[in-house]
Each structure stands twice: as C-alpha cells, then as structure tokens.
C-alpha cells in the first residue's frame, strides 16, 4: 500500500492500515471518516424521529381549540425540545455526517485531517442529548422557555436548568471540533491539482459553514454561561435589577442565532448544487458566482441579527440598519436560485428521487425566502413577529429546505455508500407524500399568522380552528411518510441491486470514480486532479 | 376490535370529516393581515400587500421559467444537454435588478417606520405592565389603573362547556380609549418579557422588566379590538389576551369617572393609592 | 521526500488547529465583550432608555431655556416579589431645560422585616435618555427599608437644553427590584 498521504493524519495512525475493529468496538473507537459519517447520519435520523414525535404532540394538541392532550407547561417543553433536538440533533449532525462521508472523497483525501478528534466530536453528542432529554423526567420538567432561552423566563426553569446549559456546552464543543476538522481537511488535505476554485460546491459551502460555526458557537457558549452565572452565582448580566439588561441576551443569542440559520442552510445549498447538474446533465451555472454568493450570505449573516428583535424597542436608526442589511441578503440568495434554474435550462433532465427533492427544495426554499423578505420589512414585521407567519417561514426554510436537501443527499449518495440502489418506486412515493404533506402542514400556518395567531400557544381562539386542523392533518401525513424513508434506507443498507461506480449517468466528481461501496480506506494515494 | 367499534370509529371519523368540511364551507376564513383601525395599520397592510405581490410576480416568473424548462428540457424528449455554464452579462443583470426592486421596497418601508417611531404629542398616555399572566393598565394623566385578566371560564378551556364567540380573547376589564386622539402606550413588565400586541392597532411592543418601551396609536373608529401576548412568558402565555375598546371622547370621560370611583382602581400592583 | 511532506503536513495541521482554536477562544471572549460594548452603545444611542443609574459626572451650570417647556412624566413599577408600595409624588411636571427640579418618589415596606431594594431607571423616548441628567437620585444606591418603613426618596434632575427640539414629553420610569441579599 502506498502511504504517501497516510502520515498526514498527524497524531495517529490508529486503524489506518487495518480494516475496522470487530463488533461494536468498531463504532466506539473508530477514527474512520466513513464510519463516523455513518454514525452521525444514523444519530441524526434517530433525533429526527424523536424531534418529529415532539412536533406531533404539539400538532395533536393544536388540532382543535381547548386543552385536550397535554397541559400548557408540557406543551412549552415540547416546543422547546422540538427545536433544540431538530436544530442541534437532527439538521446540524446530518450535515456533519455528510461532510464526514463526502469531503475526503470529494477532495481526494484519505480521511479527515484529525481523525481522533472526529471520534470525540461524534461521541459527545449522544451524551449531550441523553442529558438534555432526561430533563423531561426531572422535577419541574424539561426546559420550557423556548429554544431561544430568553431570560428572565428561562431562569424560571426548574432542576433541568444546569443540565440544559451543560448539554448546550457539549453540543457547542462537538460542533466546534467538527468545524475545525472540516477546515483542516479542506485546507490541508486536498489532492494535487484540487485548487480551491475546483472544489465541488458542497466542499465550498461546508468550508464557509465551518468558519461560521467557529465564529458563533463560542458566542452561544458565552451567552449560556452568563445565564448560568446569573442564576447561580449572583451576576446580573441580564437582570435589570442588578444593572443588567434582558435584551442584551437577545443580542448575544441572535449574534449566534442568525449565522446558525445559515449553518443549517449553506451545506444544503451545496448539496443542491451537486445534484441539479447531475440530473440536468449540464455543468453548474455560475460556479464562481455561487462561491461569492455563499460568502456574501455568510458575511451578511453577522450584521442582521437584530431583525429577530424589531419589537424590543430599538432606536429608529438601528431598525433601519437591520432592515436594509436583511433585505440585502435577498440578492445573493436570488443569485443562487437563478443559477440553479439556469443549470436546468437546456439540460437533459431526468427526475429520479434526489432530483425531485432538489427541485422541491428550489421552489419551497424560495417560498421561505419570500416570506423572509417580507419579515425583513420592519414595519410589517411588527405584525408578523412571534406569529405563525414566522413559524411557517422558518419551517419552509428548514423542512422543505434543509431537510429536503438531506433527503435528496441521502438518496443521491446512498448507492455510493452502500453499493446498492435504493427502491426508486418507494423513493418517489416518499417524495410525493412528503411534498404534499409538508405543504398541507406549513402553508396554512402563513394564514394563521397573518390572521393573528401567536406562536408557542397551546390553545387558540376559534377563528384559527380550520387551518390548525388542516395543518395537523398535514403534520401526521408528513411525519408518517418518513417511515417509508427509514424503511427504504434500511433495505438499501441490507441489500439490493448493485450500484455502478458512477451510479448516476450525469454524475461527475472524485467520489464517483471510487467503487460502490468505497473500500474502508480510499485515496491512500492521492489522485491527481487535472 | 369488534365490528361495532370499527363502525363507531368510522362514524366518528366521518363525523369529524363532515364537521371539518362544513367548517371549511362556512367559515369566514381569516387569511390575511387585518388592515386594522388606524392609519398606520393601513399603511402597514398596504406595505405587506405590496411586498407580497412583488414576491408573487418574481415567483411566477422564476418558477415559470423553471417549469417550462422541466417540461421541455427532459431527457425523455430526446434533447441533448447544452454546455454553457456562465454569462457575465446575465449574472450582472440578476444582481442589479433585484437591488433596484429592494430599493423600491425600502422607500415606503422607511417612511412607515419613521411615522411609527413618532410618539410625540400624545393626548393620553397609558402604561401597560405585563404580569404572569395578566395585564395592568395605568392611565398616567387620569389616576386610573386596573388589572385585566382572561375571563374565559376554565370549563371552556377544558372542554367541559361550549366555547363562546370570543373564546380566549375576552377579559374582565377592557382597556378603554377615546377615538380620534393620539394615545401613547408605554410597555413594561413585572416578571418576564411579554409583548403587547393588538393587530388592529399594528402595535406589538415587548414589555421588558426594568425598562419602558414607547409606541402610539390613533384609532379612528369606535370598536372592540382584540389581541394577545406575543412573547412566550411561561405556562399561561396563551391565556393573557388584550381587549381594547375605542369609544367617543364623551363616553370615554364617563368611563374614566366611573373607574375613578370603582374599587377596581389599583394604580400599582400593591395598590399604591394608600400612599 | 514522503516523510518530509508528511512532517510539513502534520505541522500545517497543528498550526491551523492552533489558529482556529485561537479564533474560538477569541469569539468566546467576544460573547462577554458584548456586555460592555452594549453598555457603551446604550449610553450613546439611548437604547432601551438606559440612563445607567449613574450620576452626571460634572454638574456644570447651563443656560435655562425659559421659552421652552417640556413635560416630564413620572412612572413607578414594582418587579415581581418586591413587597413595597411605590409611587411618584406627582404624575408629571412642566419644566424648562437647564433648570434644576426636585421631586419625590414614595415607598413603603409592606412587610414586617427589613428589606433591601434598588430602583432601576428607564427613560422614554430612548433618545432623550442622554439629555436627562439626574443630579441626585435614590436609584444611585441600594435602599434599606426598616419593617413597614414609609419613606420619601428625592430625585433632583435637569433636562439638558440640547434635548432635540421635537421632544415635548419625557417619561422617567423607575422599577423597584428586591435585592436577594436583603439584610446580609
Ligand atoms: Cu405574556
């Protein structure tokens, strides 16, 4: 075996020349990027179903007015944990899983740059979530102050409070280690000839995302640390009574929170930019402008945070600044959508499941972008803020946005990962049920918000009944459709029609030159990129 | 499961579907933002509709092109893919044109925002304090103050009684205001952050413990305007509604006189009158 | 050759990781640095109507603008769990910019034991906050109340004549908080 690239895995060579360790130990001690990618993906799928179950509790309670199933305090725990689980447990780890599997194969590297750290950053997460979810069983229940953790409300959390903070810290550490690993891999382990501007767009978007993570996860850690000292150590960062200010927390939180939104969508842009050219059989339109657009979105994400806070009573100048800056984001985002449409233009398209999800992504994410633009308009935001219009907006961006991109990615690369083709028929049924379900679920929420329904309420006035019923029906349709996906994935892992190396007729890139499934160690000899 | 239970379940499902359908057929669906009862709320409504239609037009254009392409540029139609992958001109165009559209949106938005920020020269100031989970209203120039609490019965909430027309949007004491007068609303809170929102007045302002926030309204027609707390404030966040009743000045004066004499009048939480 | 490459790649990794960790630590610090930055911004912009509960540094004489009258409204709030009665002596005053005025807030301890509290000021509109100068204020210090003590607490203030001419009304609000270390 030629090990030209092997020693670059600096402080370790563990398991490198050998195959995987036998049995369960393989997963516990693995430093192999494919194993860790698999762990991340399976973990996030589990979290997706747990967070989804919480969502169904919420939707079931909201099926009709009155309190039927849960009490308001438990309802608030459900909304809080649904968000925390979906953001930190489902979406973010899923993209890290994709990064682990794909970045080395896309840039011709033998593994991630820091394999041992990779193992740690995964294994922190199950502990963090066990901790977080176990708070449901503490006296006073789990966190119920919303995932945004606004004080003073969050300080009314019971025994769960320190555990929630600790869990957030652990997730932060895990994300930061993951991000450092991604950056080190991309900057240091590219195959000869793989210049930055030749990297697949998924690699580019992850590079930018990783920088966002490093920049903002520590800020979140700082914010929750201050919450902790305010509650237990008598500081008054956010307590007006001691000279602090609860609004300051919101500023710190959203300084993290807005880039966080892009952390969950930029890799999705990358995925879509890989898939559309494959099935359009035409190179991506405007590669360079995609890179610049992604970078400018990332930059703008740092200067728009207070658009989440138009109602806190900012001075006029502040409101104007954050309104204009937020509106500007529409420009690079528009560029991306135009580029995808132009990639399809005069291609020779086929519509396998990944492409269907990618097309649905472009349309439905754009709808979420439109409502985002409406929300940017500060005067109108006073009417939208904290209503179901906002709920509809960010769910359009996150579910048929991020989550659809993850589904698309799973179908797209599953044959490469497992060596088997998934069941296309079932994939298409899953797609259609999902796309119909997700729209029944979230579209009526626009109407609810505009008609005046606040978010995070367990019971509502009678005029909101019909759309809530429709939304709940959509939620159950969408939720249970995902079992098809689970079944399809399991079946594909277990067997099926052999996949070719290229898998898709129009697929280009280094990962498609490898066998399907790729051997445990790949690119131990760096390929040369023309 | 026995046949009768299946039939029963089927009956419930069918009944539910029928109920849902009749509700759909009859309901006066509230689909959109209210134009409201003030000039500011109407301006916001127009702004909202303007941006909405701009988005619709852009959406139809972009998705139209996309669907045209999806229909015509399919492999199954035997087309060969083109190879182009950039065009500086068109990329500049679709960067600059959206910029211009955004500027066109920003101009009216800025105007409305500036108007909303101008709370000067109000004739009446009302301080609104959020509590877990009710509101306190204090009329600064009138020495009138009182709590306003949800008046929907727990039986209705727990489905033991049929729900009234204003389920969850009714209170024991309304905030009464005169029409045609500029009213300044100061919001603050006593425990956690709340947000005072009345859609018809287009006011949504956070009530933050330790700080006061300012907003204003000028209602032009008498009526009852309902709203809710908009910032998660704990267990009963969904159960602290706001009801504003606007009436002609003369009637408002009578109401003030009545309130001053009333034992409901509590200037502060602990009844600051005894000082 | 291979070994040299490997060493330099390993070194490159270490260098990069070190830099990235440095950014991480710096950003963690930045989270905390936002606290003083925010305070400074509040002072400059009047964000949140903060007047900081601070005494004006130097009480320089100012020309009194007799021609201009500004209404100052006084508001009192009690935070949850603050067992006081708390109210302004007068609900509003007409003042001339540049001139000193005095008023009182009244407070009464409703409990049978000693309490410590502090009043937190807030001014609306926020932009007026920096022009509202408190020369003497009970909000500068924590206030100790004996059981059932009733007390008048003075405020001496002045409106800076530089107050933007379009401001006609200023609201001064105090929220009384109970301090937990009461009696300690
Ligand atoms: Cu509230």
Q: Is residue B273 domain-resident? A: no
Q: Which of the residues B12, B71, B91, B119 would you substitute to probe the A interface, choosing the one with the greatest number of A C-beta atoms within 10 Å? A: B91
Q: Are C11 and C86 within one domain?
A: no
A451 reaches B (C-beta below 8 A): yes
Return the residue matching tokens 């389920």.
Answer: B167
pLDDT digits (tens, 9 = 90+) for B154-174: 999 999 999 999 999 999 999
Q: What's the total number of domains in chain A?
A: 1
CATH at residue C131? 2.60.370.10
Domain housing B65: 3-75+85-117
Q: Which residues of chain B lie closer than 8 angstroms to C126, CB-CB?
A: 214
Q: Is residue C184 domain-resident? A: no
Q: Which residues pair with C102 in a beta bridge?
A: C156
Tell me how crowded residue B201 is: count the other CB atoms within 10 A of its CB: 27
Instruction: Round to the nearest angstrom and report the end-to-end CA distance of chain A.
Output: 24
Do A160 and A142 form a contact (C-beta atoms < 8 A)?
Answer: yes
Q: Are C16 and C97 within one domain?
A: no
Q: Are strands B241-247 and B175-178 parallel, antiparallel or unpaired?
A: parallel
Q: Are C35 and C60 within one domain?
A: no
Separation of alpha carbons A322 and A304, rounded Å: 5
pLDDT > 50? residue C182: no
pLDDT digits (tens, 9 = 90+) for A370-416: 999 999 999 999 999 999 999 999 999 999 999 999 999 999 999 99
- Residue A454 alpha carbon to ligand 1 centre in Å: 11
Separation of alpha carbons C184 and C171, rounded Å: 34
Cα–Cα separations (whole angstroms), residue A313 to A307, A383, B191, B195 = 12, 14, 18, 11
Q: Is residue C6 domain-resident? A: yes
Q: Is residue B176 domain-resident? A: yes
CB-CB under 8 Å, A214 with C23: yes
Q: Are B132 and B238 within one domain?
A: yes
**In order along chain A (530 residues), what is the average pLDDT of each group of 10 residues?**
38 52 82 93 96 96 94 95 95 96 94 91 95 91 93 90 94 95 94 92 96 95 93 88 88 94 95 95 93 94 93 89 94 94 93 96 95 94 95 96 96 95 95 96 95 94 93 96 96 92 92 92 85
Domain housing C37: 2-45
Tell me how crowded residue A134 is: count the other CB atoms within 10 A of its CB: 13
pLDDT bin (cut points 50, 70, 90) of residue C45 is low
Q: Which residues pair with A187 in a beta bridge?
A: none
Q: What is the CA radius of gyration of chain B?
A: 26
Separation of alpha carbons A437 and A475, rounded Å: 7
- Residue A151 alpha carbon to ligand 1 centre in Å: 13
Please state the ipTM of this predicted complex: 0.88
Q: Which of the residues B137, B216, B270 would you substitute to probe the C interface, choosing the one with the greatest number of C C-beta atoms within 10 Å? A: B270
Q: Are C159 and C74 within one domain?
A: yes
Q: Are C169 and C96 within one domain?
A: yes
**Helix, strand, coil in percent for chain B, rounding step 5:** 45, 25, 35
pLDDT given for residue C54 in this prediction: 56
Q: Is residue C57 domain-resident? A: yes
pLDDT digits (tens, 9 = 90+) for B129-143: 999 999 999 998 888
What does C42-53 look like in DSSP terms, one character per residue?
Answer: HHHH-GGGB-TT
Q: Is residue A293 domain-resident? A: yes
Task: Kindly state the helix (H) or strand (E) to which residue C3 belongs, with its residue range.
Answer: helix C2-45
pLDDT bin (cut points 50, 70, 90) of residue C181 is low
3-state secondary structure A423-445: CHHHHHHHHHHHHHHHHHHHHHH
Q: What is the DSSP letter of C180?
A: T
Q: What's the total number of domains in chain C?
A: 2
Q: Is residue C40 domain-resident? A: yes
Domain housing A115: 25-513
Q: Nearest C-alpha of chain B: how many angstroms from C61?
A: 28
Check the CA dihedral B248-B254-B257-B259 and report its sign: negative
Q: Are C27 and C59 within one domain?
A: no
Q: Is residue B18 domain-resident? A: yes
Q: Are C39 and C94 within one domain?
A: no
CB-CB under 8 Å, A386 with B34: no
Q: Nearest C-alpha of chain A: how many angstroms from B98?
A: 6
Query: What are the tokens at C152?
Result: 């008048």
Q: Are C21 and C53 within one domain?
A: no
Q: Are B130 and B111 within one domain?
A: no
pLDDT > 90? residue C9: no
pLDDT given for residue C41 in this prediction: 79
Q: Is residue A519 domain-resident? A: no
Nearest to A517 by CA among A20, A12, A4, A2: A20
Residues of A with catalytic roles: 82, 111, 147, 174-175, 258, 260, 262, 273, 307-308, 333, 336, 455
CATH at residue A491? 1.20.210.10
Q: What is the DSSP letter of B233?
A: -
CATH at residue B194? 2.60.40.420
Q: Are B191 and B171 within one domain?
A: yes
pLDDT bin (cut points 50, 70, 90) of residue B31 is confident
pLDDT bin (cut points 50, 70, 90) of residue B9 is very low
Do A343 and A282 form a contact (C-beta atoms < 8 A)?
Answer: yes
Q: Is residue A520 domain-resident? A: no
pLDDT given for residue A14 in this prediction: 44
Q: Are B256 and B173 within one domain?
A: yes
CB-CB under 8 Å, C171 with B212: yes
pLDDT > 80? residue B4: no
Return the residue matching tokens 């707390």.
Answer: B229
3 state SS of A4 = coil
CB-CB under 8 Å, A223 with C20: no
pLDDT given for residue B68 in this prediction: 93
For C13, which of A188, A214, A241 is closest by C-beta distance? A188
Helices A353-376 and A266-280, packing angle to 10 deg: 140
Nearest to A8 by CA among A16, A518, A96: A16
Separation of alpha carbons A221 and A260, rounded Å: 13
pLDDT given for residue C157 in this prediction: 86
Burial of residue B29, with CB atoms counted within 10 A of its CB: 0-12 exposed, 13-18 middle, 19 or more buried: middle
- Residue B236 alpha carbon to ligand 1 centre in Å: 8
Q: Are strands B194-198 and B223-229 parallel, antiparallel or unpaired?
A: antiparallel
Nearest to C142 by CA among C106, C107, C178, C112: C178
Q: Is residue B71 domain-resident? A: yes
For B81, which of A282, A450, A457 is closest by C-beta distance? A282
Q: Which of the residues A240, A242, A318, A319 would you substitute to probe the C interface, choosing the one with the greatest number of C C-beta atoms within 10 Å? A: A240
CB-CB under 8 Å, C166 with B214: no
Do A283 and A348 form a contact (C-beta atoms < 8 A)?
Answer: no
pLDDT digits (tens, 9 = 90+) for B214-267: 999 999 999 999 999 999 999 999 999 999 999 999 999 999 999 888 777 666
pLDDT given for residue C114 in this prediction: 86
Check the CA dihedral A429-A430-A435-A438 and report its sign: positive
Q: Nearest C-alpha of chain C: how many angstroms from A492?
A: 37
A487 reaches B (C-beta below 8 A): no
3-state secondary structure B148-184: ECECCCHHHHCCCCCCCCCCCCCECCCEEEECCCEEE
Do B145 and B138 form a contact (C-beta atoms < 8 A)?
Answer: yes
Q: Are B134 and B28 within one domain?
A: no
Do A309 and A247 form a contact (C-beta atoms < 8 A)?
Answer: yes
C110 reaches B (C-beta below 8 A): yes
- Residue C38 alpha carbon to ligand 1 centre in Å: 26
- Residue A218 alpha carbon to ligand 1 centre in Å: 31
For B268, which of C76, C122, C124 is closest by C-beta distance? C76
- Residue A157 alpha carbon to ligand 1 centre in Å: 16
Q: Are C71 and C10 within one domain?
A: no
Q: Which residues of chain A lie closer than 8 angstroms to B153, CB-CB?
A: none
Q: What's the total number of domains in chain B?
A: 2
Q: Is residue C84 domain-resident? A: yes
Q: Are C52 and C41 within one domain?
A: no
Do A58 and A79 form a contact (C-beta atoms < 8 A)?
Answer: yes
What does A445-457 look like in DSSP terms, one character per residue?
Answer: HHHHHHTTPBSS-
pLDDT given for residue A363 in this prediction: 95
Q: Is residue A80 domain-resident? A: yes
Q: Is residue A78 domain-resident? A: yes
Q: Are B164 and B55 within one domain?
A: no
Nearest to A164 by CA among A85, A267, A72, A48: A85
Q: Are C34 and C123 within one domain?
A: no
- Torsion angle of alpha carbons B220, B222, B224, B225, nearest 10°? 0
pLDDT given for residue C121 in this prediction: 86
Q: Is residue A5 domain-resident? A: no
Dihedral-angle region of residue A169 (phi above 0 means left; psi in -120 to 50 means alpha; beta otherwise): alpha
Q: What is the DSSP letter of B38?
A: B
pLDDT digits (tens, 9 = 90+) for A64-75: 999 999 999 999
Q: Are B90 and B158 within one domain?
A: no
Q: Is residue A191 domain-resident? A: yes
Q: Are B225 and B205 within one domain?
A: yes
Q: What is the CA radius of gyration of chain A?
A: 23
A226 reaches C (C-beta below 8 A): yes
Nearest to B232 by CA among B193, B188, B191: B193
Do A256 and A225 form a contact (C-beta atoms < 8 A)?
Answer: no
Q: Is residue C59 domain-resident? A: yes
Return the residue matching tokens 């990944």.
Answer: A354
C79 reaches A (C-beta below 8 A): yes
CB-CB under 8 Å, A286 with B29: no
């Amino acid at each position: 075996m030629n090990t030209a690239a092997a020693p670059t895995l600096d402080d370790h060579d563990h398991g490198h020349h050998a195959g995987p360790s036998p049995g369960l130990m393989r997963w516990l001690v693995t430093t192999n990027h494919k194993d860790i990618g698999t762990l991340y993906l399976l973990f996030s799928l589990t979290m997706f179903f747990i967070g989804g179950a919480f969502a169904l509790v919420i939707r079931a309670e909201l099926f009709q007015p009155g309190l039927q199933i849960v009490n308001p305090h438990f309802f608030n725990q459900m909304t809080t944990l649904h968000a925390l689980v979906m953001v930190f447990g489902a979406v973010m780890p899923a993209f890290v899983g994709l990064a682990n599997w794909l970045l080395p194969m896309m840039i011709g590297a033998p593994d991630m740059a820091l394999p041992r750290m990779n193992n740690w950053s995964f294994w922190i997460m199950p502990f963090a979530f066990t901790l977080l979810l176990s708070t449901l069983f503490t006296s006073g229940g789990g966190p119920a102050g919303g995932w945004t953790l606004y004080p003073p409300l969050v300080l009314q959390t019971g025994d769960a409070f320190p555990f929630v903070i600790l869990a957030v810290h652990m997730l932060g550490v895990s994300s930061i280690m993951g991000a450092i690993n991604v950056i080190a891999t991309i900057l240091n382990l590219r195959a000869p000839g793989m210049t930055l501007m030749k990297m697949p767009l998924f690699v580019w978007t992850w590079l930018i995302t990783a920088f966002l993570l490093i920049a903002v996860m520590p800020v979140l850690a700082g914010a929750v640390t201050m919450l902790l000292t305010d509650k237990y150590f008598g500081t008054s960062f956010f307590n007006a009574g001691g000279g602090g200010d609860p609004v300051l927390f919101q500023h710190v939180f959203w300084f993290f929170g807005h880039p966080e939104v892009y952390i969950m969508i930029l890799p999705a842009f990358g995925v879509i930019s890989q898939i559309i050219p494959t099935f359009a059989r035409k190179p991506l339109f405007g590669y360079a402008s995609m890179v610049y657009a992604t970078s400018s979105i990332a930059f703008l994400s740092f200067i728009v945070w207070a658009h989440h806070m138009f109602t806190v009573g900012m001075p006029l100048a502040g409101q104007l600044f954050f309104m204009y800056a937020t509106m500007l984001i529409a420009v690079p985002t528009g560029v991306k959508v135009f580029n995808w449409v132009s990639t399809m233009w005069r291609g020779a398209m086929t519509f396998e499941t990944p492409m269907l999800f990618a097309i649905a992504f472009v349309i439905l994410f754009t709808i979420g972008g439109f409502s985002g633009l409406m929300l940017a308009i500060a005067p109108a935001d006073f009417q939208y803020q904290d209503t179901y219009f906002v709920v509809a907006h960010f769910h359009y961006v996150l579910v048929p946005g991020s989550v659809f991109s993850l589904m698309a990615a799973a179908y797209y690369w599953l044959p490469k990962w497992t060596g088997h083709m998934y069941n296309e028929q079932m994939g298409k049924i899953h797609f259609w049920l999902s796309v119909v379900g997700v729209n029944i679920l979230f579209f009526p929420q626009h109407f609810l918000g505009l008609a005046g329904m606040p978010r995070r309420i367990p019971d509502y006035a009678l005029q909101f009944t019909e759309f809530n019923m429709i939304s709940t029906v959509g939620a159950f349709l969408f939720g249970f459709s995902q079992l098809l996906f689970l079944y399809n994935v399991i079946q594909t892992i277990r067997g099926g029609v052999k996949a070719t190396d290229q898998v898709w007729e129009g697929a280009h890139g280094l990962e498609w030159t490898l066998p399907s499934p790729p051997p445990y160690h790949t690119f131990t000899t760096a390929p040369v990129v023309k | 499961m026995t046949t009768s239970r299946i039939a029963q379940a089927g009956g419930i499902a069918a009944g539910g579907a029928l109920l849902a359908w009749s509700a759909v057929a009859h309901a006066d669906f509230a689909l959109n933002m209210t134009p409201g009862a003030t000039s500011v709320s109407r301006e916001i409504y127009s702004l909202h509709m303007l941006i909405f239609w701009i988005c619709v037009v852009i959406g139809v254009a972009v998705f139209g092109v996309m669907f045209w392409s999806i229909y015509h540029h399919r492999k199954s139609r035997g087309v060969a893919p083109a190879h182009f992958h950039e065009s500086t001109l068109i990329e500049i165009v679709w960067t600059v044109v959206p910029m211009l559209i955004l500027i066109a949106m920003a101009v009216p938005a800025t105007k409305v925002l500036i108007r909303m920020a101008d709370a000067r020269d109000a004739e009446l100031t009302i301080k609104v304090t959020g509590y877990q989970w009710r509101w306190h209203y204090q009329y600064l120039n009138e020495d009138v103050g009182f709590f306003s609490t949800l008046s929907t019965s727990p039986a209705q909430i727990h489905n033991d009684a049929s729900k009234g027309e204003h389920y969850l949007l009714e209170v024991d004491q309304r905030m009464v205001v005169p029409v045609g007068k500029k009213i300044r609303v100061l919001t603050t809170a006593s425990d956690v952050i709340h947000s005072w929102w009345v859609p018809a007045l287009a006011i949504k302002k956070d009530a933050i413990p330790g700080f006061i926030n300012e907003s204003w309204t000028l209602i032009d027609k008498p009526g009852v305007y309902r709203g809710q707390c908009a910032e998660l404030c704990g267990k009963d966040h969904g159960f602290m509604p706001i009801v504003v009743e606007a009436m002609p000045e003369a009637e408002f004066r009578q109401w003030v006189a009545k309130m001053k004499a009333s034992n409901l009048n509590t200037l502060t939480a602990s009844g600051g009158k005894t000082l | 050759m291979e070994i040299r490459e490997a060493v330099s790649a390993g070194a490159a990794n270490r260098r990069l990781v070190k830099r990235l960790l440095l950014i991480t630590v710096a950003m963690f610090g930045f989270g905390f640095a936002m606290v003083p930055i925010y305070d400074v911004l509040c002072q400059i912009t009047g964000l949140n109507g903060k007047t900081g509960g601070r005494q004006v540094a130097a009480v320089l004489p100012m020309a009194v603008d007799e021609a201009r009258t500004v209404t100052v409204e006084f508001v009192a709030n009690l935070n949850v769990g603050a067992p006081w009665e708390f109210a302004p002596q007068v609900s509003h005053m007409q003042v001339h910019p540049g001139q000193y005025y005095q008023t009182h807030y009244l407070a009464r301890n409703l409990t049978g034991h000693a309490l410590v509290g502090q009043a937190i000021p807030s001014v609306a509109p926020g932009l007026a906050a920096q022009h509202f100068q408190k020369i003497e204020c009970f909000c500068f210090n924590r206030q100790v109340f004996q059981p059932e003590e009733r007390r008048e607490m003075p405020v001496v203030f002045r409106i800076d004549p530089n107050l933007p001419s379009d401001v006609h009304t200023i609201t001064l609000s105090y929220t009384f908080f109970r301090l937990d270390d009461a009696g300690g």
